[in-house]
Amino acid sequence: MDVEEVHVLVLTLAWQGHMNPMLNLSKRLASKGIHVTFATTEVASHLIQKSNIRVPFTTSQSAKARSPQISLEFFSDGLDLEFDRVKNFDSYLESLETTGYKTISNLIKKFTNNGKKFSCIISNPFMPWVPKIATENDIPCAILWIQACTIYSIYYHYFKNPNSFPTLIDPYEFIELPGIPTLQVKDLPSFILPSCSPTIQKLVSNFIQNLDQVKWVLGNSFNELEEEVVKSIASLHPICPIGPLVSSLLLGQEESINGSVDMWIPEYSCIEWLDKKPPSSVIYISFGSVLSYSQKQIDNIAMGLKNSNRPFLWVIKPPQKGLENKIGDLPYDFLKETEGRGLVVTWCPQEKVLMHQAVACFITHCGWNSTLETVVAGVPIIAYPDWTDQPTVAKLVTSIFNIGVRLEVENGVASSEEIEKCIVEVTNGPEAAKIKKRALELKEAAKKAVAEGGSSDENIDQFIREFVGK
């Protein structure tokens, strides 16, 4: 089969942190001549239109685009746009599986009836029922694992053999797993802890148990970053690193299909502000697209930044509907007392910020997308994890990648003194030069991995050869 006749269906949930790695994989495939249909739930259409975001797709209704092409489709999750999917997460997942199963199946039939059979389905891992749809339609199925390969390995071992883990109650109890450095319970992803909701645990468990219907698990990582864990899982159900799946802007590459999906409108004025700051001087703070701050976190970060006497760029995102933790107010006179030295915005173009020479370090929640972007930008990290995979990623950042430090917390909150101490440690401390050197080494390794002939590029080529030759 000629590669230009190959058509792939990419399926993802409509969350920014899920859509962008799937989109970046779609763009990699398109750059190699593969036609991609990118499908997500209808709520994404509403959010994109509401935010006036420029979307890097053609649609099936638009004029015929030049090859390579990514076309956009939406499928129903069975719920009204006004339905609160965060607050009613269990109901959302149930409706998504019931209605999404039918609407995705109908989407596949529509293309088949038009003489366009898909050569492969690539699904988000948190729709564990998609592999069954692929099997029913005799289409080989791949999963893009959008978190670290280490997290995939932890979930695999836990849900295949839970008795090999301790009770997971004592946060300081140690756990040994193949290919992974010794972890404590506090370093594990929260989705396997007793405090996690049964619905989420079942979701991840179903993904692991359904792997027998999945031919390929693709990883948003690269061999040089997680080599040992990739080797250790190879004899069980291997994961194939094809990342980092970040924008070509960060990688310094040209691309034929531009842009990413952003559910909030960035304040580009922050780049002009950064232009006026000295090199490696600005502390950048953002907790990603999902988390909101508690009032105590805001107060302590503000005090730590104020006392550090360093320039800072702080993203405080408006809260999402349905989240319990609402945004608090900045301390009285904080903006006045830090005027000229600090800038607070509701959202920013993070890739451009991380690439800016003025940025010294990044205080981050350690979501995997943000962590990969930071690795590719060569910026040191101050880890402030909260839930899901973030505690494990914080452990990787500080103990394996060696590109940052981790804030010590009490009841999930770091003190202002701890924040100030870590800022000094990662910028001027005894290990600061070593951390920066290691960050720059990983930056180069990431770029080599995705360049022509690099480890991730070769893995994508091998993946294409396998499903094209099916």
Answer yes or no: do 461 and 427 share one domain: no
How far is it, in rounded angstroms, from Cα 198 to Cα 289? 24
Answer yes or no: do 306 and 441 share one domain: yes
Using left for φ > 0, alpha for ψ between -120 and 50, and beta otherwise, residue 442 falls in alpha
Residue 69: the pLDDT is 84
Q: Which has the closest alpha carbon to 148: 245, 235, 288?
A: 245
Name the residue range of residue 367's domain. Answer: 269-446
Could you read off the pLDDT of 146-155 as tens digits, one per residue?
999 999 999 9
Q: Which has the closest alpha carbon to 95: 108, 107, 85?
A: 85
Please tell me which residue, 21 or 61, carries the higher pLDDT value: 21
Helical ranges in 140-197 per DSSP H: 149-160
Answer yes or no: do 123 and 56 share one domain: yes
Residue 324: the pLDDT is 47
Please tell me which residue, 260 or 448, carries the higher pLDDT value: 448
How far is it, in rounded angstroms, from Cα 378 to Cα 443? 5
Residues 6+ apart with CB under 8 A from 24: 245, 246, 247, 260
Query: CA dist 223 to 142, 174, 445, 459, Å?
Result: 19, 26, 9, 10
Answer yes or no: do 12 and 97 share one domain: yes
Answer yes or no: do 123 and 252 share one domain: yes
Answer yes or no: do 145 and 47 share one domain: yes
In residues, how long is the chain? Answer: 470
Answer yes or no: do 249 and 290 share one domain: no
Write the DSSP string, 65-101.
PPSS-EEEEEE--SS-TTS-TTTTHHHHHHHHHHHHH
Could you read off the pLDDT of 262-301 as tens digits, one per residue?
666 788 999 999 999 999 999 999 997 666 788 899 999 9
Answer yes or no: do 237 and 385 share one domain: no
Average pLDDT, the chain: 90
CATH code at 356?
Answer: 3.40.50.2000
**Residue type present at position 398:** T
Could you read off the pLDDT of 333-365 as tens digits, one per residue?
999 999 999 999 999 999 999 999 999 999 999
Answer yes or no: do 430 and 462 share one domain: no
Write the DSSP string, 304-327.
HHHHHT--EEEE-PPPPTT-SS--
Q: What is the pTM of this model?
A: 0.92
Answer yes or no: do 8 and 92 share one domain: yes
* Tokens 């509701």, residue located: 346
Could you read off the pLDDT of 194-208 as tens digits, one per residue?
999 999 999 999 999
Could you read off the pLDDT of 224-244 as tens digits, one per residue?
999 999 999 999 999 999 999
pLDDT above 70 covers a percentage of the chain that reads 89
Answer yes or no: do 194 and 300 share one domain: no
Residues 6+ apart with CB under 8 A from 228: 179, 180
Could you read off the pLDDT of 150-173 as tens digits, one per residue?
999 999 999 999 998 999 999 999
DSSP conformation class of 413:
B
Answer yes or no: do 275 and 172 share one domain: no
Contact 274/327 with Cβ under 8 angstroms? no
Rounded to the nearest 10 degrees, the angle between the axes of helix 368-377 and helix 432-450 is 100
Residue 266: the pLDDT is 83
Checking if the pLDDT of 402 tops 50, the result is: yes
Helical ranges in 398-431 per DSSP H: 416-427
How far is it, in rounded angstroms, from Cα 375 to Cα 464? 27
Residue 45: the pLDDT is 79
Could you read off the pLDDT of 406-426 as tens digits, one per residue?
999 998 899 999 999 999 999
End-to-end C-alpha distance for the chain, whole angstroms: 9
Tokens linked to 219:
């990883």
Checking if the pLDDT of 258 tops 80, the result is: no
How far is it, in rounded angstroms, from Cα 411 to Cα 414? 8
Checking if the pLDDT of 383 tops 50, the result is: yes
How far is it, in rounded angstroms, from Cα 39 to Cα 130? 12
In the chain, how many domains are there?
Answer: 2
Residue 323: the pLDDT is 45
